[in-house]
Amino acid sequence: MFSRQGLLQTWKEIRPYFIFSAMLFFAGVVIGGTSGAPADFLEQQIKGVKAISDSIVKSETPEWTAFLLITANNIFSTLMVMGLGIIAGIMPLVMLVSNGMILGYMLSILSDKGENMFLLIVKGILPHGIFELTAVFLACAFGLRFGMTLIKGIFGSAFGKKEPWQPFVRTATGAVPALIVVVVLLLLAAAVESTITLWLSKS
């Protein structure tokens, strides 16, 4: 499970799903930034993000509050999508596209207000986004593969295929070390977002 060969094999199998996850997310960013984006839906989602932001701002210890809220929210959402991907991979698809659209929509609004997009991305997104997005893409990649290998296992069993559940079992085994990586990356992202990103956004 944690051997070098096992980890490399897991990455080899999960890599196409990781790349696909990244493509879906950035496709969502593009869609969210266009005039045809579902504004009403995205406005409702942004209210949830703003509620977290308001809680952080009003706190007597904003850095600590930001770390706790961001960590709890990100870990819960990401692990849920990783596990619920077993339902035909639908949850990861929805999460990737919707989160990408929210980001694209927010960037579009800020751009219309005359914000410097380069500085906004470099100071407000990249520092923590590198860790957070890597964790999200990895979790969604496993979620998607869980869904695909489950479907293949069901049909493989129905048609008498030899060892139809092997891909699913390998995915489940590989998900254990991946889970550790995801949590560590999300903790790093929360630490950076609650300190460096918060500091840069004020400067």
Interval 135-184: pLDDT, tens:
999 999 999 998 888 888 888 887 777 777 888 888 888 888 888 999 99
In terms of DSSP H, where are the helices of 85-125?
A: 90-112, 117-124
Residue 95: closest CA among 133, 126, 52: 133
**Encoding tokens for residue 44?**
């409702």
pTM: 0.87
Residues 6+ apart with CB under 8 A from 39: 105
Average pLDDT over residues 116-133: 86
Least confident range from 11-20, 21-30, 152-161: namely: 152-161
pLDDT at 36: 79
Q: pLDDT tens digits for 57-112?
A: 666 676 677 777 777 877 888 888 877 776 767 888 888 999 899 999 988 888 88
Radius of gyration, alpha carbons of the chain: 19
pLDDT at 25: 94
Residue 1 predicted with pLDDT over 60: no
pLDDT at 22: 95
Residue 52 predicted with pLDDT over 80: no
Type of residue at 6: G
